[in-house]
Amino acid sequence: MKLTLPIVLVLGLLAGLTPFAIDAYLPSLPTIARYMGTDVSLIQMTLSMYLVVFASLQIVFGPISDAIGRRKVVVTGLCLFMVGSIVCSLSQSYEVLMIGRAIQAIGGAAVAVCVPALVKDGLSADQFVKAMSMVMLVMALAPLAAPIIGGAILTLLDWHYIFALLAVLAAIAMVLFLITIPETLPVEKRTRLSFASALHNYKVLLKNPSVTGYIAAGAFHFAGMMCFITGSSFVYIELYHVPPAQFGFLFGLNVICIMIASTINNRCVERLGSATLTKYAAHVVFCAAIVMVIISFMAQPPFIFIILSGMAFMGSIGILGSGLMAGALKNAGNNNGSVTALAGASRFGAGAVSGVIISVLHNGTFVPMVATMAICGILSFACYKFVVNYSAKQSVNNL
């Protein structure tokens, strides 16, 4: 597979389905809670439930894609995503909405686990970083547009139509995928599909400190991002009185930062190297986390402090997303599907836990969101430093 512009755009669309599924209905969370006569914290749990299913099923779909190829897994995932979106669009109760989100998440997991594997199948580590930066640049349009579109639909129509739009996007993605992207995993490179072999591959990966360190750093950073995604609509709309239709524009500032970081990553990776760019981004996250620690002790911090620290924290994924994944893949042998599944499961599993924590600690203030983000950022930086120090020690021992 050659990374032409149409292929990059389609890969970006595939990778953007889950961010769109998460972000599009954020402005409607308070509205859905009122519609269903329940507390907003329970509606926030639909987001956490999506992430739990999405994370756990990647562990299954990773080895399957290594065994049967990427295309079959992607097509199956898109079909399930469409079905789940339709169920959500027709839901009248909290329980049906949860079921629809679960089906949606199963399909999203199948698609998401294959995107990095599709790119990595025929590329080196630095090429992978550059390619994924291009994909993430396209993918970033989803969380940028999603809350804006979701807010507009909520204003003009009804929140049910948000999920109807997701079904349409999945159908479009399937048609473009089948037309544009070939199978990237040759038969001779496929692994045998069995529970024992999959378990063995995961055991080998988990015993590799370089792999687990990079994956853990990415997981904690993503958990902090999910704290923001889960709690920002309440903080912005309820505490700082941002109109729901304007929430998407403020949320979009974070996505613009992601796009800028992805562009820098794409243009500078061959000159500076992935390791250097990842180091800079990790330090940005650490600084943002320290600012959030300070904010957590303020009675009513200026809104601009929350906006700017969130932009720095969220924007860093434009570099860390591909840099940390490249570091893990570099040490993972030929198990691209398994390592992307493990990384994806770790990220979204941690994100689901952080979302639950935000819901449980919900006390009508900004503190649960900001303080949990700060803790996640510090832990992400600590894991990254562990990998750097471990790699340096190994290099010295090999001399």
* pLDDT per residue as tens digits for the range 113-136: 888 777 777 666 566 666 777 777
Helices 70-90, 94-120: inter-axial angle, 10-degree rounding: 160
Would you call 86 helix, strand, or coil by DSSP?
A: helix
Give 271: exposed, middle or buried? Use CB within 10 Å, 0-12, 13-18, 19+: exposed
pLDDT band at 337 (very low <50, low <70, confident <90, very high): low
Q: CA 104, CA 99: separation in Å to the nearest integer?
A: 9
State the average pLDDT over residues 41-60. 80
Contacts of 244 (CB under 8 A, 6+ apart): 27, 28, 30, 31, 151, 154, 155, 237
Calculate the average pLDDT of the chain. 82
Count of H-run helices and E-run strands, the chain: 16, 0
Phi, psi (degrees; rounded to nearest 5) at 363: -135, 15
pLDDT band at 106 (very low <50, low <70, confident <90, very high): very high
Query: Is the pLDDT at 9 greater than 90, yes or no?
Result: no
What tokens were used for 221?
Answer: 């950073």
State the average pLDDT over residues 351-362. 79
What are the pLDDT digits (tens) for 245-294? 788 788 878 878 888 888 888 788 778 888 888 899 999 999 999 999 99
Contacts of 279 (CB under 8 A, 6+ apart): 388
Q: How far apart are the first and last CA of the chain?
A: 38
Residues 97 and 46: beta-carbon distance below 8 Å: yes
pLDDT at residue number 371: 92
The HSE-up count of residue 106 (CA atoms within 13 Å, CB side) is 11
Query: Is the pLDDT at 183 greater than 80, yes or no?
Result: no
Lowest mean pLDDT among 81-85, 215-219, 225-229: 225-229
The vertex-250 CA angle with 169 and 217, nearest 5°, equals: 75
Buried-exposed string 84-117: b where 16+ CB fall within 10 A, e elsewhere: bbbbbbebeebeebbebbbbbbbbbbbbbbbbbb
Range list of H helices, 157-242: 160-180, 195-206, 209-233
> According to the per-residue pLDDT averaged within each range, which of 4-8, 61-65, 187-191, 366-370 is highest?
366-370
pLDDT at residue number 107: 93
